[in-house]
Amino acid sequence: MQRILSEKAYREAVNVIPGGVNSPVRALKSVGASPIFIQHAERDMFTDVDGNNFIDFCLSWGVFILGHGNEKVKAAAIKAISHGSSFGIPTEVETELAELVVKSVPSIEKVRFVSSGTEAVMSAIRLARGYTNRKIIVKFDGCYHGHSDSLLVAAGSGVAQLKQSSSAGVPEEFTQLTISLPFNDLDSVKKIFFEYGKSIAAIILEPVPANMGVVLPQAGFLEGLREITLQYGALLIFDEVISGFRLGIGGAQERLGIIPDLTTIGKIVGGGFPAAAFGGKRDIMDQLAPDGPVYQAGTLSGNPVAMSAGLQTLKLLSTSDFYQDLERKTSIFVARLREITKGKGIIIQQIGSMFTLFFSEKELTNYEDVKQSDLNRFSVFYRKLLEQGVYFSPSPFEANFMSVTHTEAHLEQVLKSVEKALSQES
Ligand code: HOZ
């Protein structure tokens, strides 16, 4: 496969954009490849500037559960643009989408829209501190909550591929109020609460982490966190930027039956446009300005184009059997993948329509396990798939996503490519 024009676009980009990309993982650096520049995307595929086609399992990091370019979502966005694309003044579509979010996500009684997942989490943390009048935040190693300073502690996703454990430019003092613990380790949470419980404002976590690859919460872990937070008067925040509207219309919380105090959502909720949100119990949300003392704002917050695309997307997801069908398709595919990779030191972890393939002999339950997996083998395998037109998310510290538009023929093609890539291993 030739990628001459992508290489040229990359050379031009690096002159004016750091690393040639506007978000680090896209550079494909950690898998030893260079970025692919996209020309067009439709359904389960994209075409690069050289005219190569790729079957896409990244889907803008999970956004396109309906596949790229859904006609109804596109039409809703175009209609919105024709009335004006931003006002800094309220529109009715914001309330319409808010109503649908409140109806769908069990913990959300009121919701505020922002422009990115990072912003949603940053705001939820401030709100939790304002509401509880406490300072400490507990998070988990390998969970990623965007790139705000205080959460860049043992973070997953792109941070996992940095040489140091977190980002330069974050003064130690800024993270002194953040405690990061191993995921799935309830005892360490109990110990920390025993020591600092009265100063802890919140626990934040991805209830199903997708930024250290897909790692599943063990039985009792989320229940334990809910119990401890209630016992000590701290808030429980679920970061459902990825799992929200992905693991079901009510997200991971509905699927797993644990109701947090605050929830952050992103990706799917903007229908492919920059939008995210945070929401939760009414009395907590009412602490936000202009009604309460916790300040939070944004020029493009509740942007009408994003709201319209998000609203149309959620309406399409709300049809019966949507998630069941998507999950069935994913499970069949993953079962086939497991057959092909059997005995080859590969573990595939899946929930709903997301999965990660790890080069590991044993099940992975936390960040350490993922770091111990064979990252070099992953890179070689990844490049072999890329050569065959399969675009997986470019790191074992990420998740792959299925859409309703992935066809059986394309999935068969991917299985063949995986077989071929493995047969070429030396
Ligand atoms: N935070 C995303 C991965 N979990 C990467 C976003 C992007 O590069 O677009």
pLDDT for 268-282, tens place per residue?
999 999 999 999 999
Cβ–Cβ under 8 Å, residues 303 and 88? no
Q: How far apart are CA 409 and CA 386, in angstroms?
A: 18
Which pLDDT score is estimated for 342? 96
* Longest CA span, the chain: 63
Clarify whether 267 is annotated catalytic.
yes
What integer pLDDT is reported at residue 165 of this predicted model? 63
Active site residue 232: no
Rg of the chain (C-alpha set): 21
Band (pLDDT 50/70/90 cuts) for residue 163 is low
The structure tokens listed for 91 are 């529109």
Tell the residue nearest (CA) to atom 9 of ligand 1: 23
| Cβ-count burial 200-230 (b if 16+ within 10 Å, e if not) | bbbbbbbbbbbbbbbbbbeeebbebbbebbe
Question: For 211-221, what is the mean pLDDT?
Answer: 98
Task: Indicate which residue of 10, 131, 139, 267 is catalytic.
Answer: 267
Q: Of the listed 239, 329, 367, 384, which one is catalytic?
A: 239
184 compared with 158, residue with greater pLDDT: 184
CA–CA separation, 161 and 245 (whole Å): 28
| Res. 96: pLDDT tops 70 | yes
pLDDT at 29 over 70: yes
The b-or-e profile of 317-342 (16+ CB within 10 A means b, else e) is beeeebbeebbebbbebbeebeeebe
Percent of the chain with pLDDT over 90: 93
Mutate to test the pocket of ligand 1, among 17, 21, 23 (most ligand atoms within 8 A of CB): 23
CA angle 81, 87, 89 (to 5 degrees): 130
What whole-number distance in Å separates Cα of residue 419 and Cα of residue 421?
6
Share of the chain above pLDDT 70, in %: 99
Domains and CATH numbers, the chain: 4-57+321-423 (3.90.1150.10), 71-317 (3.40.640.10)
Catalytic residue among 10, 131, 144, 382: 144
Q: CA torsion 390→393→399→405, rounded to 10°? A: -50
Q: Give the contacts of 217 (CB within 8 A, at least 6 positions apart).
A: 183, 184, 207, 208, 256
Report pLDDT digits (tens) over 41-64: 999 999 999 999 999 999 999 999
* DSSP secondary structure of 169-198: T--GGGGTTEEEE-TT-HHHHHHHHHHHGG
| Integer Cα distance of 123 and 297 in angstroms | 9
Closest atom of ligand 1 relative to the 25 alpha carbon: 8
pLDDT of 167 strictly over 90: no
Which residues' Cβ are closer than 6 Å to ligand 1? 23, 25-26, 61, 157, 211, 398
| CB burial string 87-126: b at 16+ within 10 A, e below | eeeebebbebbbebbeebbebbebbbbbbbbbbbbbbbbb
CA distance 213 to 197: 30
For residue 150, give the nearest of 180, 182, 130 by alpha carbon. Answer: 180
Residue 135: active-site member: no
- The token pair at 224 is 């334990």
Q: How far is the CA of 192 from the centre of ligand 1 (A)?
A: 31
**What pLDDT score was predicted for residue 421?**
97
How far is residue 356 CA from its own chain's centroid?
13
Confidence of residue 154 (pLDDT cuts 50, 70, 90): confident
